[in-house]
Amino acid sequence: MPTFPFSETDPIQHHGPPPKTSEVVIVGGGIVGVTTALFLAQRNIPVTLLEKGRVAAEQSSRNWGWIRKQGRDADELPIVIEACRLWRQLAEECGEDIGLNQTGVTYLASSDKKMAGFEEFMKIAAIHQLDTRLLDSDETAKLIKGASRRFKGAMTTPSDMRAEPWLAVPALARLAARKGAKIVENCAVRTLEISAGKIRGVWTEAGYIETSSVLVAGGAWSSLLLARHGVSIPQLSVRVTVAATAPLPEIYPGAAADEHIAFRRRQDGGYTLAPGGSNLLYLGPDAFRHATKYLPALMANPFGTRYFPFAPPGYPDSWSTPRDWAPDSRSPFEGMRVLNPVAERSGLRSVERNFRRLFPQFETVRLKASWGGMIDAMPDVVPVVDRAEAIGGLFVATGMSGHGFGIGPGIGRVVSDMIQGNESGHDLSRFRLSRFYDGSAVRLGPAL
């Protein structure tokens, strides 16, 4: 059993060689790539998923494990409602315990202003008949047991869920493989083969695969691969820090956050913790190139992100990362099998301090594990889910902007239909690739 966080030293679970030809090729073994492969395989479409490192080793295992409808962008909501249904179905089908539980999500408010800010989502929730409701101070105290602070109130959605990402995504990959998807780990896609405006194949480190459809679901690496082929998406990555406690008495079975800390009970009885506002953006060529597109997000939350002048070598937007390479030479993707940033010490100190301050009964609590992750963000905090107009057969599902785990199976289902030329069943215009270049104003989605 691989240890967590996954790294390139973990044993390969899905072996090559890749096939010489495949109807569909998926780049990236995160929740988006894995569930797309699964839905295609269930319909007997020959599909090959290529992962440069290990399945779920990047964002899809490092996340908090919240599966929430609460606080979603209005256009994502119908997809995440479907995703919640799919999570239940897939948890059954995969036959493994992925820690899926309906335990609720709660946002805690310290001020009347924060409470007033919930009203907008309450209107969206009403349209979709969600069970989201506002709690007063007493009701909040009853829900979050033993909190030292008195909150003004909260917004809560009892039907929201949690799952253990590092169990769930590998289990779904195994299910996809059983259904017939060919998954190959340690196999980077170096370049796409395009002629006469159409996808013809992909060049991988293990040779060429002929295909007519490619889905780029490469998380933080998507823009690097796409830019090499003239498809520009203003995607950047921010580093975040997460920690885990050992098992503790239950204070709340679900996931909750205030302005200082986010916490989520795990299946083993411990809590997964994250500090508020600890995002770090490494400045690289893409950050400068796309800076103006991020101005609205910056103005909405001027202190939400800190900046560092350069990324460690090998990161997607590092100054030294090549932007062009040949199909038969080593690409930046093999250069970093698993993007594995270390947790920030200051973030860990703050999370430990704030958790103990909020729950003084855990005065002696120690963090048993910590890790970092790179969130792939878009300027409007909603993903790109589209086909590339200029290149026939090229599909993109990326930039999940910090909330792609919960919605993942919904995106996978939608994209699998898009690839097959079927109606997706949802209005996807908000997620179109062209929105950054067709003169549309940036319309910010909610940040958490």
Ligand X SMILES: Cc1cc2nc3c(=O)[nH]c(=O)nc-3n(C[C@H](O)[C@H](O)[C@H](O)COP(=O)(O)OP(=O)(O)OC[C@H]3O[C@@H](n4cnc5c(N)ncnc54)[C@H](O)[C@@H]3O)c2cc1C
Please report, as ranges, the residues that interact with ligand X according to CB under 6 A: 27-33, 50-53, 57-60, 62-66, 188-189, 217-221, 225, 240, 242, 333, 373, 375, 398, 400, 402-406
Strands 213-216 and 24-27, sheet pairing = parallel
| Shortest spacing between CB 216 and ligand X, in angstroms | 8
CB of 60 to ligand X, least distance (A): 3
| Nearest CB to ligand X, comparing residues 265 and 403 | 403
Q: How far is the CB of 88 from ligand X (least distance, A)?
A: 16
Least gap, CB of 56 to ligand X (angstroms): 6
Nearer to ligand X, 135 or 415 (CB): 415
In the complex, minimum distance from the CB of residue 137 to ligand X, in angstroms, rounded to a whole number: 26
Residue among 252 and 405 whose Cβ is closer to ligand X: 405
**Nearest residue (CB) to ligand X, 94 versus 280:** 280
- What is the smallest separation between the CB atom of 194 and ligand X, expressed in angstroms? 15
Complex with ligand X: residue 63 or 140, whichever CB lies closer: 63
Question: Residue 47 or 361: which CB sits closer to ligand X?
Answer: 47
Which of residues 4 and 438 has its CB atom nearest to ligand X in the complex? Answer: 4
CB of 313 to ligand X, least distance (A): 17
Label the pairing between strands 384-387 and 236-245: unpaired
**Shortest Cβ 193–ligand X spacing (Å):** 14
Of 139 and 193, which has the nearer Cβ to ligand X?
A: 193
